[in-house]
């Protein structure tokens, strides 16, 4: 108990009062590292709010006793609470730190895809061969002209064929064994976050290129690992890794670099190009420099979707026409700017509507296109998912970017 005498809650926890029992509070993990919530009493909740690493359990005991009108509360009450929180990985203690130090990131998206390797292979193959898919990839010689691809990160059930269009182009037109995946960060507000962890899926473990990571850190500077925990539940990298494993299994060994990008809301609000932000400019410059220092070919994957509209995303009304048509029109205006590799125009379309449609692919797409400046882009596939009751609509596309 001495190691936990000054317990500290870890980041990304939330709490909600039980609607049926005002004396109970549900503490939950916003990162979903643990499923389900931990139910604590109102008095326990008062105690855990003091778990900041500064107060000892005796400090907490005294404060809670005072709040309870001097009622004697045994120290075991608090020790038991600490044990329950630690078991749930809600404390920044040895168990949580061991998870952070683990060299391999466990899969977080099973359910979006099959857990059984053979079933997963059949699932991915079906995304290429179904009615919306592009057909099976050509296994002949690649021309090496593809520099980067924009690929969705929506779940496979809704966006799988669009994934397949992007990955077919990547497989046939890129000649690389190093894939730098730059995806939307759905959990951290930090601008850029790296991890050194290798990525595990049912198809095996993909190594993260440590030398590339070292070079990127040396050029960018500090801060890239400050919120690394946000990579553990993130799907925008993992869903691309599964496709890469399927395509290159028994063909070649490849490595990845997993970089996620937080919001550009400050640039949206000011209307100024993100490249004028010091941290964005520093990352653009770092990516350029690392490419010059890397002798082998690099293929970049932008993991990002387009619009998110409807009540699920706090819009007041269910989505329906003419809103959906307008959304498609605006999506294609964005995609035309991306095809022209006009990053100022791309950002301008989104900023002009104050990002009211929540284009989650903005940060990774803008960062990468500014960094590598391909000559041209090409739209490969576009789709728009609409919930049957209008609860949400998400749109997404695959694009190729070329020398």
DSSP string over 41-100: EHHHHHHHTTTBTTS-HHHHHHHHHHHTTT----HHHHHHHHHHHHHTT-BSSHHHHHHH
Residue 271 and residue 349 in one domain: yes
Q: Please give the average per-residue pLDDT across 308-321, as a whole number.
A: 97
Residue 113 and residue 169 in one domain: yes
**φ, ψ at 118 (rounded to 5°):** -65, -40
Q: How many CB atoms lie within 10 A of CB 93?
A: 18
Residues 6+ apart with CB under 8 A from 279: 191, 192, 223
Q: Is residue 316 predicted with pLDDT exceeding 70?
A: yes
Quote the domain boundaries for residue 85: 2-100
Nearest to 229 by CA among 104, 106, 52, 99: 99
Residue 79 and residue 139 in one domain: no
Mean of per-residue pLDDT scores for the chain: 95
Q: CA–CA separation, 184 vs 200, rounded Å?
A: 19
Structural contact between residues 368 and 298, judged by C-beta atoms closer than 8 angstroms: no
**φ, ψ at 208 (rounded to 5°):** -90, 135
Among 131-145, 255-269, 290-304, the range scoring the smallest mean pLDDT is: 131-145
- Which of the 8 DSSP states describes residue 146? E
Residue 110 and residue 96 in one domain: no
Residue 217 and residue 90 in one domain: no
Looking at the 3D structure of the chain, how many domains does it have?
Answer: 2
Convert the pLDDT of each residue in 100-110 to its tens digit: 999 999 999 99
Residue 254 and residue 372 in one domain: yes
Last residue within a domain, chosen from 100, 118, 151? 100
Q: Please give the average per-residue pLDDT across 15-44, as a whole number.
A: 90
Last residue within a domain, chosen from 100, 115, 139? 100
Residue 49 and residue 139 in one domain: no
- Which of the 8 DSSP states describes residue 176? -
Residues 6+ apart with CB under 8 A from 380: 134, 165, 166, 169, 397, 398, 399, 400
Convert the pLDDT of each residue in 325-362 to its tens digit: 999 999 999 999 999 999 999 999 999 999 999 999 99
Residue 109 and residue 96 in one domain: no
Last residue within a domain, chosen from 64, 81, 100? 100
Quote the pLDDT of residue 1. 39
How is residue 110 written in tokens? 């099973």
Q: Is residue 141 predicted with pLDDT exceeding 80?
A: no
Q: Identify any residues that bridge with 257 across adjacent strands, giving them in sequence order.
A: 180
Quote the pLDDT of residue 4. 65
Residue 348 and residue 384 in one domain: yes
């Amino acid at each position: 108990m001495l190691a936990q005498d000054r317990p500290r809650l870890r980041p990304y926890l939330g709490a909600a009062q039980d609607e049926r029992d005002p004396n109970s509070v549900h503490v939950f993990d916003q990162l979903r590292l643990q499923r389900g919530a931990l139910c604590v009493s109102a008095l326990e909740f008062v105690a855990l709010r003091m778990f900041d690493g500064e107060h000892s359990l005796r400090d907490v005991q005294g404060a809670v006793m005072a709040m309870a009108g001097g009622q004697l509360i045994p120290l075991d009450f608090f020790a038991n609470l600490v044990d329950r929180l630690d078991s749930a990985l809600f404390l920044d203690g040895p168990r949580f730190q061991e998870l952070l130090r683990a060299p391999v990131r466990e899969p977080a998206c099973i359910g979006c895809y099959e857990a059984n390797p053979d079933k997963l292979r059949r699932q991915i193959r079906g995304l290429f061969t179904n009615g919306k898919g592009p057909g099976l990839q050509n296994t002949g010689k690649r021309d090496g002209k593809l520099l980067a691809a924009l690929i969705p990160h929506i779940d496979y059930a809704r966006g799988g064929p669009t994934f397949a269009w992007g990955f077919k182009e990547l497989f046939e037109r890129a000649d690389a064994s190093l894939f730098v995946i730059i995806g939307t960060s759905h959990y951290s507000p930090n601008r850029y976050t790296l991890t050194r962890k290798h990525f595990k899926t049912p198809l095996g473990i993909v190594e993260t290129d440590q030398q590339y990571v070292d070079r990127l850190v040396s050029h960018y500077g500090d801060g890239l690992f400050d919120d690394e925990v946000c990579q553990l539940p993130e799907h925008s990298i993992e869903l691309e890794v599964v496709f890469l494993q399927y395509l290159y299994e028994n063909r070649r060994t490849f490595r990845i670099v997993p970089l996620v990008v937080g919001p550009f809301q400050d640039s949206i609000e000011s209307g100024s190009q993100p490249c004028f932000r010091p941290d964005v400019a520093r990352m653009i410059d770092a990516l350029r420099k690392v490419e010059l220092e890397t002798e082998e070919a690099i293929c970049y994957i932008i993991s990002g979707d387009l619009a998110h509209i409807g009540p699920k995303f706090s819009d007041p009304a269910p989505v329906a026409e003419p809103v959906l048509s307008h959304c498609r029109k605006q999506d294609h205006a964005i995609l035309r700017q991306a095809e022209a590799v006009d990053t100022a125009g791309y950002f301008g379309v989104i900023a002009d509507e104050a990002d009211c449609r929540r284009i989650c692919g903005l940060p990774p797409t803008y960062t990468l296109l500014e960094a590598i400046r391909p000559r041209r882009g090409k739209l490969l596939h576009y789709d728009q998912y609409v919930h049957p009751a209008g609860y949400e609509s998400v749109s997404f596309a695959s694009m190729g970017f070329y020398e």
